[in-house]
Structure 1
Amino acid sequence: MHTSTSVAVAQGDAVSARLSGQLLAVLAGLAALGALSTNIILPALPRIASELNVGMREMGPVLSGFFLAFAVGQLFVGPVSDRWGRRTPVLSGLVLFIAGSLICAWAQTLSVLVVGRVVQAMGVCAASVLSRAIARDLFEGEALSRTLALTMVAMAAAPGFSPLLGSAMEYGPGWRGSFVLVALLGLLLALAYVAVVGETHSRDRRAAATFGEVLSGYAALAQDTRFIGPAFAVSVIVGGLYAFFAATPAVLMGRLGLSPLQLGLFFASTVFVVFGAGMLAPRLAHRWGAVRVGCIGCMAALAGALAMLAGGDGRNLAYFAGAVVLYLLGMGLVNPLGTAMALGPFSHQAGLASSLLGGLQMACAGGMTALASVAGSSAGLGLVLTAASMLAFAALVASGRQR
C-alpha cells in the first residue's frame, strides 16, 4: 500500500475510534444539507408565489437555478480541494450557503429569491461533494463502504423528510422560517466540522493543477472503467430517486387525493426503506462482493419499476407503495456500494472523482426528473425507473468484468 494511503487510513482509524458517532453525523449532515434545503420549500411554493405576486409557472427558476448552480459549482470544488485541502472549501461553502439562505429569507421579489437560491447552491455543493472526498481521505475498503453507506443514506433520506418538515413550518413561521432554519443548520454543521473533522487531506498528498490539467483529469476519469461504470450506475439509479419525488405528487395528490401533509408522511415513510437497505449493503458486500450485491440491487429496483409500469394509472395506493419500496430497496443497495467502487481506486484524486460523480448524478437527476414530470403518471414514472434500473445493471456488469 502506498505510504500516504497508509497514513490516511491510520488517521481514519484514530478518528473513528474516538469520534465515530460524531464523525459520521457530520459527514451525513454535509451530504444531506443540499437535498434538505431544496425539498423543504416544495410544500410552500404556492404560498411563496402568492406573497411575491407571481404565478406558479414563474417559480421554475427557484428550483432550476439551484440545480444548475449546484451542478456547475461542484465541478470546481473537487479540484480546488485536491490542491488546497478540504477545510477551506467546506467552511467557505457553508458560509456562502448561510448567506444565500438569509437572502432568501428576506427576499421581497422573485429575482432576489432566485439570486439567493443560486448563492445557496454555490455554497452547499461543496458540502455535498466533499463529504464523499473526506470519507475517501480517511477510509478504504469495507470501512469506506460503511461510511459511505451512512452518508449516502442521509443524502437519499433528506428528500423524504424535508417536505414533511416544510409542511410543519407552514403552520408556524412559514416559508421564510424554513430558510432561517437551514441557515442555522449550516452554522451548526460548520461548528461541528471544525470541532470533529478538520483537515483530512494532508499537504503531502496535494497537487497543483492548471485548468487544462483539471479537464484532462476529468477526461481520464470518464474513460477509466474503474470509475465510470459504478459512477454511471449510481447516477442513473439516484436520478430515478429524484424522478420519483418529482412525479409522485401528481400521482398521489392528483389521482388519489392525498393532502400535502399525507404526501409528506408518505415520503417520510420511504426513508426507512432507504435506511434499511443502506445499512444492509456493506454486510452483504462483505459476504458476496460489492458488484454482485449491486447487481442484486439493480434487479430489485427493476422489479419495482416494472410493477409500477404494469400498474397503469396508479390508483391503488398499496400497490404503488409496494412498487416504490422495491425500487428504493434496490437503490439503497446500489448507491453506497457503487459510490465506494467509483471512489476507491482514486485516493489522490478523491475531490476530482467526487466532483465528477456529483456532476453525473445531477445531470441524470435533471434529465430523469424532467421526463417523469412530463409523463405525470405512475406508468410514465415506471418507464423512467425501468430504463434507469436496466442501465445501472448493465454498467455494473461491465464494471465487474473489468475488475
Structure 2
Amino acid sequence: MGAPSSISLALGGPTPLRLSGRLLAVLAGLAALGALSTNIILPALPRMASELGAGPHGDISLVLSSFFLAFAVGQLFVGPVSDRWGRRIPVLGGLALFVAGSLLCTWAPTLPLLVAGRVVQALGVCAASVLSRAIARDLFEGEALSRTLALTMVAMAAAPGFSPLLGSAMEYGPGWRASFALVALLGLLLAWAYAAAVGETHPSDRRAAASPAEVLRGYAALVRDIRFISPALAVSVIIGGLYAFFAATPAVLMGRMGLSALQLGLFFAGTVFVVFAAGMLAPRLAHRWGAARVARAGCLVALTGALTLLMGAEGRSLAYFTGAIALYLLGMGLINPLGTAMALGPFSRQAGLASSLLGALQMACAGGMTALAGLAGRSPAMALGQVLAAASVLALAALLVRWRQA
C-alpha cells in the first residue's frame, strides 16, 4: 500500500477511489450531520417551548431525547442492511428520510409533530453516521484508515462545537424553523456529493444475507471479541465524556462564571481547534509508535485534564477551566480515531455491523454520562470532572485488557 496521498480502493471494484480531499469532505459530512442537526437547535429551545406551548425544561426535552433514542435504535439495523445490500442505498435513502424529517420539523405547528419530525430525522441520519465509518473501512486499512477516520472524527467532534454558534445566528435572524431548513439543504447537498464522489464501496462478493437471528449472533460475537470490544468501549466512554462536557459546561460558564450565550458559543467553537490538532497528530504519532500505544497515551492525557479540573473545580478562573478541558479534548482527539480504526480494522466483511454496534455503544455512553453530569448539585464543574475522570480510567482499562491479551 502506497503513501496516503495515493492510496486507492483495493476492493477490485470498477472504480478505484483515492484518499482525496473531496472524499474526506463527504465522509466528514456524513459523520457530522447528526451532531449538527441536534446542537444547532440548542439555543432555540426556550423559544420553541414558548411558541409551541411546551414547558421549557419538561416537554421540550422530547425534541432531544426522541432524537437520541431513535438514533441509537436505528443504527443497529443500518449496519446489517448495508452489509447485505451495499452502502449506497442505505446512505441515499437515509439522507432522503433525513430531509423529509427536517422539512416536517420546519413546518410542524405542534410539539408532537415536531417530535415526530425529529424521530424521522434521526432514523435517516443514523445511516450517514454509521456508514461513514463503514465506508472508510471498505476503502482503506492500516495507516490510511487511521488517517481517514482521524479527519472524519474531527468533523464529528467539531460539529457540536460550531453548531450552537450557528444556531444562535439563526435564532437571532430568520428564526429556529430556518435551522431545520438549513440542515435539510445540507442533507440534499451531501446526498449529491456522495453520489458523485463516492457511490458504492461494498462490492457484491463481500455481501452476505443474514437473518435476524444471525445478526444477533453477529452482534454477540463482536461483544465477545476482544479485538472489537476493547477499543470500542474505550472510544465510547471517551465520547460519552465529550457529550457530558457539552451538557455541563453551560452551567459552569454561564451559571458560575457569568458568560453570555454568545461567549459560550465562542468557547465551544474554540475547543474545536484542540480536537482538530489532536486529529492531525494521531495518525502521525501512530505511524511512529503504534496506534495502541498512542491511544493509551491519549487516555493518560485525558485523565490528566480531568484530574486538573477536579483539583480546581471550585473558585478557579476561565483560563484554568479552559486548560483542563483542553487536555481532556486533546486526549479524546487521540483516542477517538485510533480506537475506531482498531475496532473496525479486523472486520472488513462485517464493517457495517461493527460500525453499528460501535455507534450504539457511543450513544449509550453519551446518554449515561450526560445524565451523570446533570447530577451536579451545587458544583457542576466537580460533577463534570468526576465524569471525565471516570471516562478516562475506563477507557485506559479497556485498552490495557486488549494489550495484555495481545
Q: Does the TM-score normalized on the shorter chain lie above 0.5?
A: yes
8 Å contact 2:313–2:385 — kept in the other structure?
Answer: no
8 Å contact 2:41–2:164 — kept in the other structure?
Answer: yes
Q: After superposition, give the CA deviation of every residue in 1:97-139 in whole Å (9 maximum; x if it has no partner).
A: 0000011111111111100000000000000000000000000
Where does residue 76 of structure 1 map in the other structure?
Answer: 77
Q: Which runs of 5 or more structure 1 residues have no equivalent in the other structure?
A: none
- Most deviating of 52-61 and 234-243: 52-61
Runs of 4+ aligned residues of structure 1 deviating over 4 Å after TM superposition are 9-13
8 Å contact 1:9–1:139 — kept in the other structure?
Answer: no
Q: Distance in 2 between matches of 1:7 and 1:23?
A: 12
Q: Residue 8 of structure 1: CA displacement? A: 3.2
Where does residue 147 of structure 1 map in the other structure?
Answer: 148
Q: Residue 313 of structure 1: CA displacement? A: 2.8
Residues 241, 314 of structure 1: alpha-carbon distance in 2 compared, 3 angstrom cutoff = farther
Q: Distance in 2 between matches of 1:341 and 1:12?
A: 28
TM-score, normalised by the number of residues in structure 1: 0.96
Identical amino acids, percent of aligned pairs: 78
Residues 400, 12 of structure 1: alpha-carbon distance in 2 compared, 3 angstrom cutoff = farther
Q: Residue 141 of structure 1: CA displacement? A: 0.3
Where does residue 364 of structure 1 map in the other structure?
Answer: 365
Where does residue 266 of structure 2 map in the other structure?
Answer: 265
8 Å contact 1:11–1:138 — kept in the other structure?
Answer: no
Counterpart residue type for residue 193 of structure 1:
Y
Indicate yes or no: 2:21 matched with 1:26.
no
Counterpart residue type for residue 63 of structure 2:
V
Judging by fraction of residues, say which structure has more helix.
1
Where does residue 4 of structure 2 map in the other structure?
Answer: none
Counterpart residue type for residue 341 of structure 2:
A
Where does residue 43 of structure 2 map in the other structure?
Answer: 43
Where does residue 399 of structure 2 map in the other structure?
Answer: 396
Q: Distance in 1 between matches of 2:152 and 2:226?
A: 24
Q: Residue 316 of structure 1: CA displacement? A: 1.4
Which secondary structure state, in structure 1, belongs to the residue aligned with residue 228 of structure 2?
helix
Q: Residue 14 of structure 1: CA displacement? A: 3.7
Where does residue 122 of structure 1 map in the other structure?
Answer: 123
Counterpart residue type for residue 55 of structure 2:
G
Q: Distance in 2 between matches of 1:23 and 1:33?
A: 16
TM-score, normalised by the number of residues in structure 2: 0.96
8 Å contact 2:282–2:334 — kept in the other structure?
Answer: yes
8 Å contact 2:165–2:269 — kept in the other structure?
Answer: yes
Q: Distance in 1 between matches of 2:122 and 2:310?
A: 34
Query: Number of aligned pairs?
Result: 397
Where does residue 229 of structure 1 map in the other structure?
Answer: 230
Counterpart residue type for residue 172 of structure 1:
G
Counterpart residue type for residue 129 of structure 1:
V
Where does residue 107 of structure 1 map in the other structure?
Answer: 108
Q: Residue 280 of structure 1: CA displacement? A: 0.4
Q: Residue 9 of structure 1: CA displacement? A: 5.1
Q: Distance in 2 between matches of 1:263 and 1:314?
A: 19
Q: Superposition pairs for residues 284-303 of structure 1, below 5 Å?
A: 284-303=285-304
8 Å contact 1:314–1:377 — kept in the other structure?
Answer: no
Q: Distance in 2 between matches of 1:313 and 1:354?
A: 40
Indicate yes or no: 2:390 matched with 1:353.
no
Q: After superposition, give the CA deviation of every residue in 1:138-194 in whole Å (9 maximum; x if it has no partner).
A: 000000000000001100110000000000111211100000000000000000000
Counterpart residue type for residue 225 of structure 2:
D
CA RMSD of aligned residues (A): 1.5
Q: Residue 12 of structure 1: CA displacement? A: 11
8 Å contact 1:303–1:327 — kept in the other structure?
Answer: yes
